[in-house]
Amino acid sequence: MRVDRVKNFITQAECYALNAWADEAADKKWMDSGLLINGVRDEKRRLTTRFYGDRFEYPPLVLDIRDKIAKAVGIEKFPLILDHGKDGVVVNRMDVGGDLFAHLDRGSPTGELLALRCNILTRKPAKGGALFLEEELLDIEVGELHCYTASTCMHRVSIVEEGPARVLWMFGAYVPVGFWE
């Protein structure tokens, strides 16, 4: 399992701006309930933009960061993960009590490509909300870029036990098998 990490990939000011957008998105219903393991909507604890791209436009900063990641990771020639959000970007916000069940992301609809996720945590809760890859804790820092193939690496997030809300921005592309590993 390959996991690449780049500390301080974005600045604290950029994190602040992205968090402000995520908070506004929650208030204005640009993001809404995510899915639970049984396919039921999680009404309050975990919000996402994944299914709701018709409700908003991302600010230029988001698309600039997306392009910066693509160039840094070398994935600019690969297709964005468009069926997982708008413009190849998904934002998740987990409030106290929120978590994410262990799962694999889908690869491309044809099954020939893997989902490479390049994520940035922009707000970390005081307690909980930890990322586990293959049941191994990955202690990520605010502003750090971390990339892995989410369609081959089982991942989950522990329960957010104490606020503030956890905010994660997900970018990435569909990549050929063998490209990342």
- For residue 38, pLDDT over 60 is answered with no
* CATH 2.60.120.620 is right for the domain spanning 4-176: yes
Across the range 165-169, mean pLDDT stands at 98
What mean pLDDT is reported for the chain? Answer: 92
Nearest to 58 by CA among 174, 181, 170: 170
d(CA 92, CA 47): 6
Cβ(80)–Cβ(31) under 8 Å? no
Share of the chain above pLDDT 90, in %: 77
Share of the chain above pLDDT 70, in %: 94
Domain ranges of the chain: 4-176
The Cβ of residue 148 has, within 10 Å, a number of other Cβ atoms equal to 25
